[in-house]
Structure 1
Amino acid sequence: MESLLVGSFPHASSVTTGGSLLPHIHGANKKIYYARSYAPKASQQKRKVQNKYNLQFGEPSLNNHYKCIEGDSPNKKCNRKYIVKASSEPSFESEPNACDPKTVLHSVKNFLVAFQKFSRPFSMVGIISNIIATSLLTVEKLSDISPLFFTNVLKALVLNLTMSIYVNGVNQLFDVEIDKINKPYLPLASGELSYTTGVIIVALFLIMSFWLAWIIGSWSFIWGVLAQSIVGFVYSANVPLLRWKRHPVLAAMCLVSLSAFILPITIFIHFQTFVFKRMTIFWRPLISVIAFTSLYFVGISLCKDIPDMEGDKAFGINSFSTRFGTKQAFWLSVTLFKMAFGVALFTAATSSYLWSKVITGLGYAVLASILWYNAKSVDLGSKDSVQSFYIFIWKLLSAHYFLVPFVR
């Protein structure tokens, strides 16, 4: 405000004293004196003018020049008057500039931080691990690992990560009011991103996903994107007959179908038929992986609702946690995680390859032990403790995907 006020006035002015500028002044007698006797008065007047403007503007920004113009005779009193002439000079005061590169860079940085929160990157770790593990599961000999293989892994990653942003974004668009209670740090709930910006991001990433699938030319990818977009919308959309997240069984079905069926099966079919040109055979390792992830993601669907009980109750979402309480929901989810590791250990024990038995057997035994240790240390009365455990089980899932290529 101060810069706007000062900026509306000139920063430099000249103050001129002159005679009574009459039209009949005689040019011959007109003389200009800078008399010593008037200097103190002029200085006094100068100080008065300066003080006046200093009080108004808060800073001595006026350069004042005085001239005493006399007529007729030097013996007559000088008829003086002060005229303030304002002249515009360049302002040295900094003013905000929307086109300043630093301002633009700061705005871009803030948007990227908000977008990072909007995309929910912790969930992307599981997707990345799932894609890499499932693609490696299709490798039957070393010659299969070629530039074509790595190129298609990259395509699958880009395609499914854009789809993940769409799914997470749709959920946030319909959960703004709930997130103000449960997750106030999310950009739509906190106001870092406007609702319109969120809609634009979701629409762009949905279009981008279909465009990428079409450009790649894989029908398994096209059907995968279509299935994920429908399930994501059905899970979150607050319209009649939808918003399945309100019902525990339907919510679990959505999560399991996305992560345990649609994603690994479409990746597996793409590499078998599109990359390696083979017959699609759902062999034993893939079935084991689907069984593991199905049980594990049902556990995740129960665990993820525990920190959100307050908002879910306020908006009538009947999750398992709100119906049966925190303790029952938590330990049921832990039981499902242990059952998933039990399936993995059974697969390892029945493998016909010794190296597969050793690697996967020891690996899953260690992961199950870490799970049990962390589960016992969770404080169910602390929302932060439960949320920390929820992040931990996603990391544990990524460790599982590291062992998947060794399942034979």
Structure 2
Amino acid sequence: MESLLLGRFPEPRGISNGCRNWGGDFPKDRFPIAEALWFRGRSISKGYHAKCCPTNVPERNQFQGGRQRKWNANAASGQPLESKPDDYDSNGVIGSVKSAVDAFYRFSRPHTVIGTALSIVSVSLLAVEKMTDFSPIFFSGVLEAVVAALFMNIYIVGLNQLSDIDIDKVNKPYLPLASGEYSVGTAALIVSTFSILSFVVGWIVGSWPLFWALFLSFVLGTAYSINLPMLRWKRSAVVAAMCILAVRAVIVQLAFFLHIQTHVFGRPAVFTRPLIFATAFMSFFSVVIALFKDIPDIEGDRTFGIRSFTVRLGQKRVFWICIALLEMAYAVAILFGSFSSNLWCKATTVIGHLILGLLLWVRAGSLDFGSKAAITSFYMFIWQLFYAEYLLIPLVR
């Protein structure tokens, strides 16, 4: 038997009952491929292997995991030799989709997304004066504002990650860019796409308060993060805090309130008492977020020359400054709520802020400053208080 690829090999010795006996002196070490192919050729003859060699043919070419045994079974039964659909990992595509969604979820910084959406809905409710204001045009106006703002939110947090890859490898290695799940090109494409989408939505809606909110957020978010001359304002602790305060406390409260008040309801621009309270309270809260976000990131900021207040003053001192500012804000909110003419709103505002202030004080006293995980968890607790405040703000009347 000749083969240009396999060479010449002898016939096996010993034929019994028309079946080749592999117990002879077949040179297995010299022609392993030829042996495997000869065995396969015999095994696919219908019934041949079962009839002639039930016991004395050794198992050859067995693959780990049983894949070759399935192949032999298909061959002996006369079925096609292609793999069946269920031979493949059916979870492969689903797993890839889940991984992609999870990476984008982390890239979008979900705690900021929730805060943005909740704040816009809450501030929009401040413009509601009567029950008939809850109309389809109101809900569509709120939805337009939320969608445009969330697109801009993803641009801002994504640009920050693009500018902080090396820092995040120390401070936040779980983020997609820092971990290598996203390339710089992928992240840049996402950031660019969402910034364009945000402006497109704002332009289509045709609301000048909404458009200016998006534009100012874009400018401040870019100046905060991007590493260009005269920019990257996050390097200055004071300027960084002012950027966050401007976006979270001023732009969100005033611009989105005016979007509903003037564009949706068609009413004159006015600054109501609840709006003034919300702006003042969130100014305190925004400063706290700006200061507290650097407490768990002190190691990376110090390594890369970011002169945050935490690097300058230390974690404990900045932490207690944040707690003091928030407790002052809660005290003012309780006093403000006590002057409400609506008994139900008065009780809810006073009791709600009292509970939040007590929760903050109790949890602050048990913080372990030696654990970065504990500090990060407390930072997320600050964001939960932020969400809770936006549930109370519409009740301030």
- Normalised by the size of structure 1, how large is the TM-score? 0.80
Distance 1:15 1:360, change over 3 A: same
1:235-384 paired onto structure 2 within 5 Å? 235-384=224-373
Within 2, Cα distance between the matches of 1:291 and 1:53?
86
Q: Is 1:46–1:64's contact at 8 Å kept on the other side of the alignment?
A: no
User: Residue type matched to 2:120 in 1?
Assistant: I
Q: Is 1:15–1:64's contact at 8 Å kept on the other side of the alignment?
A: no
Give the structure, 1 or 2, with the largest relative contact order (CA under 8 Å, sep 6 or more).
1
1:383-398 paired onto structure 2 within 5 Å? 383-398=372-387
User: Residue type matched to 2:39 in 1?
Assistant: L
User: Residue type matched to 1:114 in 2?
Assistant: A
Shift of 1:93: 6.6
The unaligned stretches of length 5 or more in structure 1 are: 1-8, 18-36, 66-88
Within 2, Cα distance between the matches of 1:48 and 1:208?
75
2:28 matched residue in structure 1: 51
Within 1, Cα distance between the matches of 2:117 and 2:27?
70
Within 2, Cα distance between the matches of 1:339 and 1:62?
85
Q: Is 1:305–1:319's contact at 8 Å kept on the other side of the alignment?
A: yes
Q: Is 2:156–2:218's contact at 8 Å kept on the other side of the alignment?
A: yes
Shift of 1:39: 3.4
1:72 matched residue in structure 2: none
- Sequence identity, in percent? 43
Within 1, Cα distance between the matches of 2:388 and 2:193?
32
SS of the counterpart of 1:62?
helix
User: Residue type matched to 2:168 in 1?
Assistant: D
1:21 matched residue in structure 2: none
User: Residue type matched to 1:274 in 2?
Assistant: H
Q: CA RMSD in A?
A: 3.0
1:219-238 paired onto structure 2 within 5 Å? 219-238=208-227
Q: Is 1:50–1:62's contact at 8 Å kept on the other side of the alignment?
A: no
Q: Is 2:115–2:387's contact at 8 Å kept on the other side of the alignment?
A: yes
SS of the counterpart of 1:168?
helix
User: Residue type matched to 2:236 in 1?
Assistant: H
Shift of 1:248: 1.0
The unaligned stretches of length 5 or more in structure 2 are: 43-74
Rg (Cα) greater in structure = 1
1:118 matched residue in structure 2: 107
User: Residue type matched to 2:15 in 1?
Assistant: A
SS of the counterpart of 1:63?
helix
Q: Greater CA deviation, 120-129 or 348-357?
A: 348-357
1:150 counterpart = 2:126: no
1:62 matched residue in structure 2: 39
Within 1, Cα distance between the matches of 2:109 and 2:29?
59
- Normalised by the size of structure 2, how large is the TM-score? 0.82
Deviation by residue 1:61-83 (Cα, 9 ceiling, x = unmatched):
73356xxxxxxxxxxxxxxxxxx
User: Residue type matched to 1:309 in 2?
Assistant: I
User: Residue type matched to 1:207 in 2?
Assistant: I
2:15 matched residue in structure 1: 39
Q: Is 2:148–2:201's contact at 8 Å kept on the other side of the alignment?
A: yes
Deviation by residue 1:43-98 (Cα, 9 ceiling, x = unmatched):
46896558358845996773356xxxxxxxxxxxxxxxxxxxxxxx9865799x99
2:158 matched residue in structure 1: 169
Q: Is 2:177–2:187's contact at 8 Å kept on the other side of the alignment?
A: yes
User: Residue type matched to 2:357 in 1?
Assistant: A
Shift of 1:350: 2.4
Within 2, Cα distance between the matches of 1:287 and 1:180?
40
Within 1, Cα distance between the matches of 2:38 and 2:124?
72
Within 2, Cα distance between the matches of 1:179 and 1:156?
31
Shift of 1:354: 2.5
Within 2, Cα distance between the matches of 1:57 and 1:403?
80
Within 2, Cα distance between the matches of 1:340 and 1:53?
85
1:74-93 paired onto structure 2 within 5 Å? 92=82
Within 2, Cα distance between the matches of 1:57 and 1:140?
88
SS of the counterpart of 1:359?
helix
Which one of 381, 404, 407 corresponds to residue 393 of structure 2? 404
Shift of 1:187: 0.6
User: Residue type matched to 1:394 in 2?
Assistant: W
